[in-house]
Structure 1
């Protein structure tokens, strides 16, 4: 390693020796304090901005602090474990010691992902990685092949969505820590399930955030919804860039994570010639070459800007895929008519039809909500670069009462919505519990230990929903009861109508995974049309010798629609209104070309046809 290269941050072990590096560019002295031995070891200046020490005095399992300029003791910004919480000492770990059994695992191609987003703390009664592991057989039977964990970086207390993490490298101790996450990933791979981890690169939480004491971790050049931006292009930014790039590599290399969902990348402020995401993608590609395993980067981005998902050779940032909130918004408005807030930008079924075609709804048109032209068309981006959903943690939890779709629409619409997702030429994502129509809310919750901060969160939530004053105050985010209300009710699976809805999801996912057209997220052979007056939409897709026709009725009354005139009749694959799914009536098993078919209210019919 040359003198100008940044060091790998934190503590690692080689042949029993600890290699310790610390980014603290403005410090005059740096030391390591071992509380159990009451021993202080000086670090020496290394690469620009770094301090380093190699010692046998620190061993795996030991607690330690960093001391800057002989003053206050602070946890390691690159700590791998915080067993005493965000204000306590760090704990040294050797991640290489885990006994992996997934040597034969080569991942799942991204285009085959069926994603299932879950929150570790509320997915099971245990609220741990071990609890998730106990449900893997269920997820496998459901048809899921990729679980997506909401953020697991160490946060204050034991209850949090995860976006208040302050130690990017440390796995939440109350979930099971690093060992528990490694064990879960290993178990998932044995079941043929990939693991996606949600990580936050755009901000740190407010409590236990000591990073700014080590150096210029934040910059006054930009602001974000969370305050000052992390420093990725200002003075001394090299160490910050290295910190987060190494964090991404750690999840892939040391935890065998298959993909990362990068939270709100539009809030990463970086105007350097080589954007942080580009540099990150190159380093990940190098790791792919070293290991022979695919690793994917999936961005959350609301800019409708294809440079985030365009490949590196086209000067893009190289993200493998991104979430598409606009598909959700268009689908939600079509299903419910709700048009408050950002939903005001969406007209309903016309925009849903556009999203089936273009992924983005706004591709350069004027956005009334933003009061400007917005977006660009993703002309050359394949379907597997877009993740779509009918609900997710944001779209539920950011409502005042955390109400799920199951509490907002009819039983028939509850079946139409996921079908509309699964027939799309994009990657489908479910949110935990939707498959049985979970009725428990998913509320916003925190467990800050700072009373002043907890009160600020409580009051901020009240202000956010002040326009709902007639409905009372939002649930207290700091109350443990709010967290417990958000736990899944697994017993519902055995009760009606939840049991039938679960079977419906299983059949729908099986059709998506097995049908030669539906299983390929191919945008190149998609045709779509809609009837505003009827609130109907048809979607035509083909691949090789197979054609698929999807007919959707979002209205509350039966609608007659014409069948496209082709040479062969259409055979029925799936009918959401069939009595086996507690629907009102079955539809014809075969459709003759040029005829009309009656769509039941709030239903979908899926037909296919082979070329002869």
Structure 2
């Protein structure tokens, strides 16, 4: 096992649990541990491993490599109370008193996911503050809460993707016990918890792994040096981390960040190894454990079973559905939206998951993706959204959909998303059309890194065609403050009406199997591109949409109006819809 506390035991007669040190460091010839003001040598074992003395929970410690007197943290530290450059602290995973013994878990087959960032979900910016809003999520009707990365990162506030302490929980959020309280409370509300984990790169500050051994390899991806996933010990480091979150923190699922950036030529891909070991743990624990991949490859190999040569991941994000909906609703067709925005595109993604499934991608300049086998793949295996942290935060000013699309079209988007054959995901605040922006923000303590971060984002956004003159510096504390949700908005008339719509749609989806049916072969669309109307066929239901700015009759035979976002009048063979109105009808 790669993590430091390979075993925990109690000292007879004392009741004190201690953990033995173990670390993989093939690049050094000597390792000492400094704890309680004393240094002790670790002993070399096989294949670059070192073992050391027992340490009690609460002990602060660090490593000294070779003859360097600089104390550095443990690569697999469970706590970094003084930040990523400070000493590690021994943590007893078994000390927390869990209250979720009755929790049996939830899979994705009938899920509605809610994505949030702990640091901006509430003004309190901690797990305990977020617990106070779990009742809101339970009443909303979502089933899974997806938390952006929480591992140790330099600075105070950050999106989480600059993490370097993969095994530690960021202390300003509440540390490991705070996260356990959050998971425990979520389960008490009937909510499963998904954690976003990042294994494709490490952050720019506090990454000490290269001092210990070849955790990285030559080459770079979008975010930094490549992780050396072909090395068995590094693979173990990653897999054990995933198992830790699921086992010790009682998580229900992990969302794997940008798996296309994991370059692995091994006979068994690391994702296949990971999914196999997660399945084994699920069988051991007796509850479902789910992996969700974020992949830019548009390749169903991610969700293809391992025995068929796939990665065995349960589900994957599907950006093509987001792009189709976003472009249709907002009218934006620049950058990577350039192939999207039409009703034929929406028809393809709603029936075949990907627009680019071996077809030419104008933005990429080459053929992209592979087709989905609709006989074996189900819609719930694709997580889709109108907004998420990337699609909002990676805009120049972090503006949300309600700022760039009309209120009518925002409501249309909610209806299409929550009656789709996929697993819908909401971005925090979306359910009440939050007006707060969510720009990119950092709090790097190093001035040079702060400067480079800001310059890099300006160049990236300018290349996308956005006006960067209004962009806020990521290091400006105002960027962070602007991102915090304003919960006072929820009770405002316009916001409350949107919230009521989302609650009604989620309840309808839960009540009606046809509206969560993931058989893509059973989905069809009628539409008129010139008139700007469409009808989605969902079993006994028809989702009729008028995107035009004037009232019009949409041809659909339906007996009962179930829900509408504006004026709607069913007739014998059509429904009259007001401007920018969607309606759900039963045949």
* Whole-Å separation in 2 of the counterparts to 1:400 and 1:357: 32
* Whole-Å separation in 1 of the counterparts to 2:143 and 2:187: 10
Q: Is the 8 A contact 1:160 1:447 kept in 2?
A: yes
1:87 counterpart residue number = 85
Runs of 4+ in 1 over 6 A off after TM superposition: none
Alpha-carbon shift at residue 516 of structure 1 (Å): 2.2
Q: Does 1:293 align with 2:287?
A: yes
Q: Tell me which of 527, 544, 557 is aligned to 1:530.
A: 527
Runs of at least 5 residues in structure 2 that lack an aligned partner in the other structure: 11-16
Q: Tell me which of 537, 540, 548 is aligned to 2:537.
A: 540
2:13 counterpart residue number = none
Alpha-carbon shift at residue 8 of structure 1 (Å): 4.1
Query: What are the equivalent positions in structure 2 for 1:191-202 lying under 5 Å apart?
Result: 191-202=189-200
* Whole-Å separation in 1 of the counterparts to 2:498 and 2:555: 29
Give a deviation string over 1:488-523, Cα, whole Å, max 9, x none: 010011112111111111111111111121133332
1:175 counterpart residue number = 173
* Whole-Å separation in 2 of the counterparts to 1:285 and 1:148: 20
Number of residue pairs the alignment of both structures matches: 577
2:386 counterpart residue number = 390
* Whole-Å separation in 1 of the counterparts to 2:53 and 2:309: 40
* Whole-Å separation in 2 of the counterparts to 1:225 and 1:420: 32
Q: Residues 337, 12 of structure 1: CA spacing in aligned structure 2 closer, same or farther, 3 A cutoff?
A: same
1:563 counterpart residue number = 556
Runs of at least 5 residues in structure 1 that lack an aligned partner in the other structure: 1-5, 578-584
Q: Does 1:606 align with 2:576?
A: no
Alpha-carbon shift at residue 558 of structure 1 (Å): 2.4
1:485 counterpart residue number = 482
1:3 counterpart residue number = none
Query: What are the equivalent positions in structure 2 for 1:112-511 lying under 5 Å apart?
Result: 112-220=110-218, 222-233=219-230, 237-379=231-373, 380-466=376-462, 472-511=469-508
Alpha-carbon shift at residue 10 of structure 1 (Å): 4.6
Q: Is the 8 A contact 2:396 2:467 kept in 1?
A: no
Q: Is the 8 A contact 1:21 1:50 kept in 2?
A: yes
Q: Residues 239, 517 of structure 1: CA spacing in aligned structure 2 closer, same or farther, 3 A cutoff?
A: same
2:14 counterpart residue number = none
Helix, strand or coil: the match of 2:94? helix
Alpha-carbon shift at residue 440 of structure 1 (Å): 0.9
* Whole-Å separation in 2 of the counterparts to 1:537 and 1:29: 69
* Whole-Å separation in 2 of the counterparts to 1:240 and 1:551: 51
Q: Is the 8 A contact 2:3 2:76 kept in 1?
A: no
Q: Residues 269, 470 of structure 1: CA spacing in aligned structure 2 closer, same or farther, 3 A cutoff?
A: closer
Give a deviation string over 1:299-320, Cα, whole Å, max 9, x none: 0001111111111111100110
1:581 counterpart residue number = none
Q: Is the 8 A contact 1:331 1:348 kept in 2?
A: no
Q: Does 1:514 align with 2:492?
A: no
Helix, strand or coil: the match of 2:19? strand
Q: Does 1:572 align with 2:561?
A: yes
Q: Residues 470, 117 of structure 1: CA spacing in aligned structure 2 closer, same or farther, 3 A cutoff?
A: closer
Helix, strand or coil: the match of 2:236? helix
* Whole-Å separation in 2 of the counterparts to 1:360 and 1:465: 25
Please give the root-mean-square deviation of Cα atoms over the aligned residues, in Å. Answer: 1.5
Give a deviation string over 1:470-497, Cα, whole Å, max 9, x none: 6625101111111001110100111121
Helix, strand or coil: the match of 2:514? coil
Alpha-carbon shift at residue 599 of structure 1 (Å): 2.4
TM-score, normalising length from structure 1? 0.92
Q: Is the 8 A contact 1:231 1:240 kept in 2?
A: yes
Q: Is the 8 A contact 2:18 2:57 kept in 1?
A: no
Helix, strand or coil: the match of 1:497? helix
The worse-fitting range, judged by mean Cα deviation, of 433-442 and 375-384 is 375-384
